[in-house]
Amino acid sequence: MRFRPLAALSAAAVAALLLAGCASGQGTAQPTGTAAADLCAAQAAPGAASDSVTVDGEVGKPSKATFKTPLEPKNLQVTVLDEGKGESVKPGQFVSYAMSAYNAKSGDELATVGYKEGEFLPSQLSASTVLGQVFGCGKVGKRVVATFPATDTAQAEVYVLDLLGTVPTAAWGTPQDAPADFPKVALEKNGAPKITIPKGEDPPTAAKIATLKKGDGYTVKKGDYALIQYTGVRWSNGKTFDSTWEKGGGTPIAYPTTQYVPGFQKALEGQTVGSQVLVVIPPAEGYGEGKINEADLKGETIVFVVDILGAQSATAGSPAE
């Protein structure tokens, strides 16, 4: 069975969200007081179904849930088992989490996932998502039981979920020395890179990759989803043509490595979560005669700085399905 992150995992969960009257969407990178209050209020209330579930096991490790079957929740219910003692989470933050899922009718365990690296992509907390309705606000280390009602297309389900941590918006690995012939990179206070192309030098004819920060997390493999921040500039004039730091409030994006141009794909695969990578991509391994975001990159050598913030194995399924 292939499990996806809770934000898009369960038909029952999605139906419960719709029944609760919440629209889909994402949180903001800079939460306001109202947004924080909304996230706290978004958490579903406990009920007889969620309160009836008994859970054994430590927070942060796989748990075992028991309950009288068949359990027939009529709506989304959430019971907090542990409030957590870590940092407080905020709307718009990306968080890592794990869960055990159960068939509410039979009590059978469906899967335990997220406790190992690469099983779940970090997700963004928002009052308008299932993840926000389950965790609300609170602190890292929070554990909840969530019960979802059956729908026409899905069985009733029980989840035990642990909020494992928050994810920075910039790479946090150990700094590394880049080769002297690479473009220079300086970082803003928020981690956004500023790339300077070496003057008077011809661009390389093959992709060149340097690790600027070395993370110690999961190793990204071919086809995996990678949660990244990036800035791309032209070698010809050093001007930025695309950057997650300059759009959407600096919100990271996630796609399979195989959906990028070959040079960018090479820069991701084999790297570890927490790393920052500098890659120089010639036209043959870049966009060639094509365009990206209305920027004409015909014949351009392009340079990217990429921060790898999270990853999900291709075998774990698509976080967007």
- Cα gap 217→201, rounded to integer Å: 35
**Please, which residues have CB within 8 angstroms of residue 138's CB and are 6 or more apart in sequence?**
80, 83, 84, 88, 89, 163
Q: Is the CB of residue 9 less than 8 Å from the CB of residue 1?
A: no
pTM: 0.88
- Structural domains in the chain plus CATH codes: 6-167 (3.10.50.40), 174-316 (3.10.50.40)
- Cα gap 268→219, rounded to integer Å: 9
In sequence order, what are the beta bridge partners of 230? 306
CA 289 to centroid of chain Cα atoms: 32
| pLDDT of 321 | 43
Q: Is the CB of residue 4 less than 8 Å from the CB of residue 316?
A: yes
SS3 51: helix
| pLDDT of 8 | 44
pLDDT, block means (10 residues), the chain with 321 residues: 43 40 35 75 97 98 97 97 97 94 94 91 91 94 96 90 97 96 96 96 95 99 97 97 88 95 98 99 86 75 98 76 43
| pLDDT of 37 | 78
Residue from 130, 88, 96, 133 nearest 114 by CA: 96
Question: Residue 216 phi/psi, 5° resolution?
Answer: -120, 20
Question: Residue 305 phi/psi, 5° resolution?
Answer: -110, 125
